Amino acid sequence: MGNELRFDGRVAIVTGAGQGLGRAHALLLASRGAKVVVNDLGGSATGGGKSSEAADKVVADIKAAGGEAVANYDSVEEGGKIVQAALDHFKRVDIIINNAGILRDSSFQKMTEQDWELIYRVHVLGAFRVTHAAWPHMRDAGFGRIIFTSSAAGLYGNFGQANYSTAKLGLVGLARTLAIEGAKKNVFANVIAPIAGSRLTETILPKEVTDALKPEYVSPLVAVLCHEESQENGGIFEVGGGFMSKLRWQRTEGARFKLGRNITPELVQRNWERITDFGKATFPEDITGATQPVMENLGTKSRGGNELIDVDEALGFE
């Protein structure tokens, strides 16, 4: 086994760290030597109100355990102020855990503009503002580790969470682009889709399940991703209740139609099985991989991929 993973000299911002997952992340990083900005607006689970109590309590817990931390009560919508707090107190920022979140669940039929807007502002705009303010500092320092907190609701969809799932999958797109833009500067971005007992899940899951799903089961994976030894970048991880795994896109081999003649709906329909069959799936990792079959199809011959379907032949043209 290797040595203990330490974060001495590192400065971490954990948003929404007043309770739940953020609190567990903050306590773990602080216990391993990181100086932590414990950000929390201290509002309700649906985004109303504010209070300094939650963040103060976590800072007190960190200090009582011998760690170093400072509280910040700004909304992530004012991300620049949170990053400024890190710079003012600790002179740098190495790690950002975008974790702050609220819920405004409702069926799509009943969803209001306000439900939609508020979820977007906290999850997407908030993560953007915090990360964008820290980005130049991380690039200049040649080091950064950024976590975005997505959700199974975003990855798979979930009844009553159209606003939330949109925001949560939006964060995946943001993280994957930052992974590309930051790579050369050793600024890495990864995504977690956690599950844990918290005030966000206590109304949905039975009490015995939320009690068992401790936020502390999620934080160790986050710590590994935030460590300087980690080379993981652009990854998406499902984590919770002792389960940890990595997710990727899977694509069917698909159909390729010879170009130059009419590709009709009937031709598509006739080849539906080929289009949707995951039997010979591939796992494109980037835009180049994703567009490869398209580019190949523009050429005259197939390069080792699936067979080209002759449109005329398929349609029974002479």
Catalytic residue annotation = 164
Shortest Cβ 213–ligand NAI spacing (Å) = 7
Chain centroid to CA 35: how far? 23
- Interaction of residue 41 with ligand NAI, rule CB under 6 A: yes
Task: Yes or no: say if 76 and 39 are a contact pair by the CB < 8 Å rule.
Answer: yes
Pick one of 28, 29, 36, 42: the residue that binds ligand NAI (CB under 6 A): 42
Q: Which two tokens stand for residue 94?
A: 């190495």
- Interaction of residue 45 with ligand NAI, rule CB under 6 A: yes
Shortest Cβ 8–ligand NAI spacing (Å) = 26
The CA-atom distances, in angstroms, between 129 and each of 88, 106, 204, 209 are: 18, 26, 30, 34
Pick one of 10, 12, 22, 221: the residue that binds ligand NAI (CB under 6 A): 22
Chain centroid to CA 205: how far? 22
Q: How far apart are CA 62 and CA 212, in angstroms?
A: 23
User: Among the candidate windows 15-23, 104-112, 259-267, 281-289, which touches ligand NAI by CB under 6 A?
Assistant: 15-23
Total residues in contact with ligand NAI, by rule CB under 6 A: 32
- Footprint on residues 128-157 left by ligand NAI (CB under 6 A): 149, 151
Nearer to ligand NAI, 163 or 233 (CB): 163
Question: In this structure, which long-range contacts are made by residues 288-295, counting pairs with CB atoms below 8 Å and at least 24 apart in sequence?
Answer: 290/251, 293/254, 293/256
**Per-residue contact flags (x/-) with ligand NAI for residues 88 to 127, judged by CB under 6 A:** -----------xxxx-------------------x---x-
Q: How far apart are CA 20 and CA 4, in angstroms?
A: 24
Q: Which two tokens stand for residue 274?
A: 């080929």
Task: Yes or no: say if 236 and 193 are a contact pair by the CB < 8 Å rule.
Answer: yes
The CA-atom distances, in angstroms, between 244 and each of 10, 22, 192 are: 25, 18, 10
**Per-residue contact flags (x/-) with ligand NAI for residues 239 to 278, judged by CB under 6 A:** ----------------------------------------
Cβ atoms within 10 A of the Cβ of 305, count? 15
User: Among the candidate windows 111-119, 193-201, 275-283, 295-303, which touches ligand NAI by CB under 6 A?
Assistant: 193-201
- Interaction of residue 198 with ligand NAI, rule CB under 6 A: yes
User: Among the candidate windows 56-64, 190-198, 270-278, 286-294, which touches ligand NAI by CB under 6 A?
Assistant: 190-198
C-alpha count within 13 angstroms, C-beta hemisphere, residue 237: 25
Pick one of 97, 195, 255, 309: the residue that binds ligand NAI (CB under 6 A): 195
Binding site for ligand NAI (CB under 6 A): 15-16, 18-22, 39-43, 45, 54, 75-77, 99-102, 122, 126, 149, 151, 194-196, 198-201
